[in-house]
């Protein structure tokens, strides 16, 4: 990442933090939200995105802009963790407690066990660049939506971020 991209990422993170207000929720199909996010990100050609996002099956009551911040951050982190090459798998499904579960799994180098407990803390980071507040912002947003975010990883086997959001029920949007 060059200095312009790094500066842009830092500024975007600060803007995201400054814009953090109460979620303006609306019923959304998570498949559409994620497909929209994927279409706007600059993903390197050497990164393959594999999705299992059934349309019309998983509705959540979210502030779309805030949830897009969460997935932008997770996806950018995944691309960086893979050194801009590898595979990212994105799946949506139902979890216990009537929640929609979205997992983002990368084929990167993973997260050290001792770091896994700390990654959602503000100013904690494993990268040489950045301020380490991206995942804490993600956690704050997800929790304001009544959900939870979790990270799982084994070193050298990639990382998986799981976002669980309360289901908005079934049927037409």
Two tokens, residue 149: 């975010």
Instruction: Answer yes or no: are the C-beta atoms of 27 and 58 closer than 8 Å.
Output: no
- Binned at pLDDT 50, 70 and 90, residue 173 comes out as very low
**Is pLDDT at 26 greater than 90 in this prediction?**
yes
pTM (predicted TM-score): 0.82
State residue 110's pLDDT score.
87
**Is pLDDT at 101 greater than 50 in this prediction?**
yes
Domains in the chain: ranges and CATH: 3-146 (3.30.565.10)
């Amino acid at each position: 990442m060059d200095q312009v991209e790094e500066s842009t990422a830092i500024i975007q993170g600060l803007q995201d933090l400054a814009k953090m207000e109460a979620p303006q929720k609306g019923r959304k199909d998570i498949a559409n939200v994620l497909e929209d996010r994927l279409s706007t990100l600059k993903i390197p050609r050497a990164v393959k995105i594999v999705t299992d996002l059934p349309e019309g099956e998983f509705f959540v009551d979210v502030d779309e802009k805030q949830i897009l911040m969460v997935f932008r951050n997770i996806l950018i982190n995944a691309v960086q963790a893979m050194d801009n090459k590898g595979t990212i798998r994105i799946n949506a499904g139902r979890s216990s407690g009537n929640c929609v579960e979205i997992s983002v799994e990368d084929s990167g180098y993973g997260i050290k066990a001792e770091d896994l407990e700390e990654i959602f803390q503000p100013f904690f980071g494993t990268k040489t660049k950045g301020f380490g507040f991206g995942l804490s912002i993600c956690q704050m947003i997800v929790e304001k939506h009544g959900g939870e975010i979790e990270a799982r990883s084994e070193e050298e086997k990639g990382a998986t971020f799981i976002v669980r959001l309360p289901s908005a029920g079934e049927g037409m949007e």
